[in-house]
A and B are shown apart, each in its own frame.
Chain A
Amino acid sequence: MKPLIRIVLFVVFFLALAGILAGLYMYNKQHKDLLKEKPDYMITSVDLQKAFEENESTAAGKFTGKILEVSGIIGSAKQGEENTISVTLLTGSDFSSVICTFSSSISVSKLTAGEQITIRGECSGFLMDVLLNNCVVTE
Chain B
Amino acid sequence: MKRIILLSVVIFMFLGASAQKFMTKTGYVGFFSHTPMEDIKGDNNQSASVLDISTGELVFQLLVKSFHFDRALMEEHFNENYMESDEFPKSTFKGKITNLSSVDFSKPGKYNVTVEGDLYIHDVTNKISVKGELEVLAGGINATSKFNVIPEDYKINIPGVVREKIAKNLEVSVNMKYTPVESK
Point out residues on A near B: beta carbons under 8 Å: 26-32, 60, 64-65, 78, 80-82, 84, 86, 94, 99, 101, 103, 124-129, 131, 133-134
Contacts and interface: CB of A to CB of B under 8 A. Distances in A.
A64 B46 CA distance: 15
Given A27-B73, A78-B26, A103-B45, 17 more contacts: A26-B73, A27-B71, A31-B72, A64-B65, A80-B45, A82-B43, A86-B25, A101-B45, A103-B68, A124-B65, A125-B66, A126-B63, A127-B46, A127-B63, A128-B61, A131-B66, A133-B46
B110 interface: no
- For the complex of A and B, list the 5 residue pairs with the smallest distance between their C-beta atoms, beginning with the closest: A80-B26, A124-B65, A81-B28, A124-B66, A82-B28
A28 B71 CA distance: 7
B46 A99 contact: yes
B72 A84 contact: no
Contacts of A80: 26, 28, 45
Interface string B83-97: 000100110000000
12 contacts: A26-B73, A28-B71, A31-B75, A64-B65, A81-B27, A81-B176, A82-B28, A82-B30, A82-B45, A86-B25, A127-B48, A127-B90
Interface residues of B, number: 27
Contacts of B48: 127-128
Contacts of A126: 63
